[in-house]
Each structure stands twice: as C-alpha cells, then as structure tokens.
Amino acid sequence: MNIIPFPDRAEWPALLARPVQSTEQIEAVVAPILARVRAGGDAALVELAQQFDKVTLDATQLEVTSDVLDAAENQLSVVLKAAIRQAYQNIRTFHEAQRQTVEKIETMPGVTCWRKSVGIERVGLYIPGGTAPLFSTVLMLGVPAQLAGCREVVLCTPSNHPAIYFAAKLVGITKIFRLGGAQAIAAMAYGTESVPQVYKIFGPGNQYVTAAKMLVAKEGVAIDMPAGPSEVAVYADDSAIPAFVVADLLSQAEHGADSQVLLVSTSKRLINSVNLTMSTQLGKLPRRDLAAKALENSKAILVETHADAIDLLNQYAAEHLILSVENAEAVSDEIINAGSIFLGNYTPESAGDYASGTNHTLPTNGFARAYSGVSLDSFVKKITVQHISPDGLQVLGPVVEAMAEAESLDAHKRAVSIRLASLTEANLV
C-alpha cells in the first residue's frame, strides 16, 4: 500500500478522490442499446445476447422455467443450502424490524394526518454475471421486496448459477430472465413482449449497467442509487490485529481492479505491520491478480490525531467502514458519512456482505454523504392521508384562507370558503 504520512488537510480532497469515469463515452455506447431494445423488444434482446454474451437464444428461451428453478436445489451442497437459508432468515429478521405501524397524528382538534407504506407494484432486480455468482445480492434485494409486498419482482441475470436460482425461489421472485448488461436494464425499464416493465430497478453492475440505470432514471424509471466501484475504509489503532485488517482490505480488493481500499491510522507501527503482512495473505488468494491491481491504488494514511481520522473518514464517506479501534461503538457515534459500519476486531465486512442481516447494497463513490443503503423503505412508497372534521375545518379553514389569499390563489381560498359557508348555513337552519 502507498503510505502517506501526515498529509495536510489541503491535500485530503486529492488523496480521497475516486477515479474519474468517462461517463460521456460510456453513455454513447449504452444509449443505442437502450433505443434498440425499446424499438425491437424480445428480438433485440436475442440479438444483443449473441453480440455481447455470446449466448444463442430465441425469444422462448429468455425466461427461466420453473423446471430449471426446481432442479437448482439438487445441484447445491447441503452445507451451501443451509448457509443460504440461514442468511435469508437473518436478513429477513433485520428487515422485518423496519416495518412501521401507521400512527395517526392530530395536528390540531379535528385535523388528523397519517402516513401508510405501500409496496412498489413492480420492481426489477439485476444480478451481474461477471467473475462471481452474486446469489447473496438476490437475498439482499429479494428479501425486502418480499416483505414490502411488491406484487411483481423481476430478476435479470446472465448467470445460470444454481445458487442464484435457489435464492430467487426462496425470496419468491416471480420471473427470471437470462439477460445481462445494459440490455437487461432496458428490458425492465421499457418492457418487451416477455419482460414486464417495472417501476424501480435495483442491483449492481459494471460501468455499462450503471450508465444504463442512470439514463433510464432520466426518463422516469426509479433506481436504487447511483453506484460506482465497491470500496472499504478501515480505521485502525494499536488495538487492531494487523492480520485481520489485511484480510478486510483484501476481501474488498478482490472484487476487482477498480475497487477502492483505504487504511487510516494514528499508529505508524500498525500501518507498517499491515504492509508486512499484506504480501503473505495476497499470495494465497486465487483472485490475487485482481486484488493486486486494486492495491496499486490503495492508500494507508497516517494522521496525527483521532479527530483528524474522524474528519478524514467523514470526508471520504466510505461504502463500508470498519472501526478496528478501542471503544469502537462510541467512535461510530462520530461517523456521519458511511454506508455501513463494522465495529471491532471480530466484525469483518464479509459478515455484512453475506449473512449478518444488514443490507450490502450501499452507496459508493461518496454518495453516502446523502444516500442510505437499500432497506425495506427502498421497496415501498409512503402515502400521506388526512381527514378533517367539520369542527376541524372551522378552526383550520381561516388559516388556509389567509395563506391562499396572500398567494393570490383565489380558487384555493374558495375551496375552503364554500365549505365554511355551508357549515354556517347548516348551523343557522
């Protein structure tokens, strides 16, 4: 790792900057794919599957059949199925606790307001193929969709890994399609003869998938959040165990060459120990070439004080933040910008990625300053409801009349005045 001792605060923005992505160039490739699917439907999807994924399909083979889903369970080991079921239960338990009961609020006598949650009717989940079958993401997206009561949940993936199908069946996904890349996003955004149009799209993907999500968002299709390469920041002091820190850094680096890895510490000894341990652990990884590429751009930043570390970490706004420090929970109270926080020496990021219960779909690229990770709320709409009694309108009405008149919106005022007049007349009879 590149060790940077005591950088001046003026240097922090440059040190913490993510790699700049050429969005215009990527969008120029993606936009014609979107247009092609919009115009050509299933036929375009078949052509694009051949062009980009080298998969020969016809329109009748786009959807995964129930027979394939049923057979997937028999292709997995007992151990893996048990692990997936346990992860499912933990994720469900955590997200189920996010349900909110309807609470009616009387803002003034006779004026009652409340809010109800309604599941988004149709949602689309994207699971990339890539170098790893991300069946864990099927759970992370499928469980809250299931709990929210979304009526139709569509999954698109170029992968045919049985664990993806097993997880999809577990969370009750209604339709699965053998589709990848920007064309899968287009299919869910616009709908085709086979693929239902959805109202919100979730899921990770490469830069082309991300660009496709951003482009369809401009056209009115909701997406989970802006996304970039996955990232981790570790804040460690002398209470940290260097081998654990290295393992956490490498678990993020193995995602890909563009993954972001950052270590922050007030201890030069800790940083040196991590650097010495890194090569040993790296050499044992099957994906060491990918991890090594990511580590070329990684940084270990030595700071003077704990306050400096907190300020730097809040400025970085990491997707994953591991606090391997004394009094980690108290330190977490000082963090205001992060996607998900992991406390202490025995809480690896991997636990959150798979099975502790929290969601692993998190804001990257600094978006944790304003965005939350996926939750049950991501799959519902909040609809407000209000009811005003005749007595309530007599109290609230003059307030509304005065405000509407001041804004020169006479019809707004009249909608109240005509009701108040009817109440006065009724009282006179």
| Topology agreement, domain 23-225 and domain 228-372 | yes
| Domain spans of the chain, in order of start | 23-225, 228-372, 389-428
Residue 72 near residue 165, CB atoms below 8 Å: yes
Residue 164, token pair as written in the block: 């993806």
Phi first, then psi, for residue 275 (nearest 5°) are -65, -40
pLDDT tens-digit map of 123-167: 999 999 877 789 999 999 999 999 999 999 999 999 999 999 999
Q: Give the CA dihedral 236, 238, 240, 243, nearest 10 degrees.
A: 100
> Which residues make up each annotated binding site for Zn(2+)?
252, 255, 353, 412
**What is the model's pLDDT at position 290?**
84
The CATH homologous superfamily of the domain defined by 23-225: Nitrogenase molybdenum iron protein domain (3.40.50.1980)
Residue 274 near residue 233, CB atoms below 8 Å: no
Residue 160, token pair as written in the block: 């045919």
Please give the DSSP secondary-structure letter assigned to residue 305: S
Q: Phi-psi category of 203—alpha, beta or left, where left has phi over 0 and alpha has psi -120 to 50?
A: left
pLDDT at 387 over 80: yes
**What is the model's pLDDT at position 57?**
86
pLDDT at 429 over 60: no
Q: Domain 228-372 falls in which CATH fold?
A: Rossmann fold (3.40.50)
In terms of Cβ atoms closer than 10 Å to its own Cβ (0-12, 13-18, 19+), residue 378 is: buried
* pLDDT band with cut points at 50, 70 and 90 for residue 254: confident
Positive or negative: CA dihedral 206, 210, 212, 213: positive
pLDDT tens-digit map of 318-336: 999 999 999 999 999 999 9
pLDDT at 304 over 60: yes
Residue 191 near residue 163, CB atoms below 8 Å: no
CA-wise closest residue to 312 among 235, 229, 252, 232 = 235
| Angle at 29 (CA atoms; ends 28, 32), nearest 5 degrees | 90
Q: Where are the beta strands (DSSP E) in 295-359?
A: 299-302, 318-324, 338-343
| CB-based contacts of 342-351 (< 8 A; 24+ apart in sequence) | 345/239, 345/240, 345/241, 345/244, 347/322, 348/244, 348/247, 348/248, 348/251, 348/322, 349/232, 349/248, 349/251, 349/252, 349/320, 349/322, 350/251
**What is the model's pLDDT at position 20?**
67
- Active centre residues (catalytic): 319-320
Greatest distance between any 2 Cα atoms in the chain? 92
pLDDT tens-digit map of 284-296: 998 888 888 888 8
Residue 39, token pair as written in the block: 């115009």
Three-state DSSP at 18 gives coil
Residue-level length of the chain: 429
pTM comes to 0.93
CA distance 160 to 176: 10
pLDDT at 268 over 70: yes
Q: What is the DSSP string of 122-137?
A: EEEEE---TTS--HHH
pLDDT at 276 over 60: yes
> Which residues make up each annotated binding site?
126, 183, 206, 230, 252, 255, 320, 353, 407, 412
Q: Parallel, antiparallel, or unpaired for β 2-5 and 299-302?
A: parallel
**Helix intervals (H) in 135-192:** 135-148, 162-170, 181-190
CA distance 374 to 144: 9
pLDDT tens-digit map of 170-220: 999 989 999 999 999 999 999 999 999 999 999 998 889 999 999 999 999
